[in-house]
Amino acid sequence: MNPLQKIAIISCRQAAVLGAKASFNALSLVEKMKLRMHAKMCTTCRDYQKDSALIDQAIDKIIRQKEQQGHTLSPTQRDKILEALR
């Protein structure tokens, strides 16, 4: 295995982390390359990425629909959620 291949090969766990990071458009060029190479070799992670993208799209759609219906969080509700995430 050449050094480039060694650097590019990542575990499924690392691919899952990069996949989550990708949903926030926060991947570097090298991370994108590692994730793409892994997905080409690993059917499980490729399927996981597709399913995650579908779930993200569904959540985004629901959020847009709720916002259009005037459903928004109050500042107190937002603060409670932010506090729970810390």
What residue ranges bind Zn ion (CB under 5 A)? Answer: 12, 15, 42, 45
Q: Which is nearer to Zn ion, 17 or 58 (CB)?
A: 17
Q: How far apart are CA 83 and CA 67, in angstroms?
A: 22
Q: Taking the complex as a whole, how short is the minimal distance between the CB of residue 12 and Zn ion, in angstroms?
A: 3
Helix runs in the chain, H state only: 3-8, 12-22, 29-41, 43-68, 75-85
Q: Which is nearer to Zn ion, 44 or 77 (CB)?
A: 44
Q: Which is nearer to Zn ion, 16 or 56 (CB)?
A: 16
Q: Taking the complex as a whole, how short is the minimal distance between the CB of residue 75 and Zn ion, in angstroms?
A: 41
Q: Is the distance from CB of 9 to CB of 37 less than 8 angstroms? A: yes
Radius of gyration of the chain (CA): 17
Q: Taking the complex as a whole, how short is the minimal distance between the CB of residue 38 and Zn ion, in angstroms?
A: 6
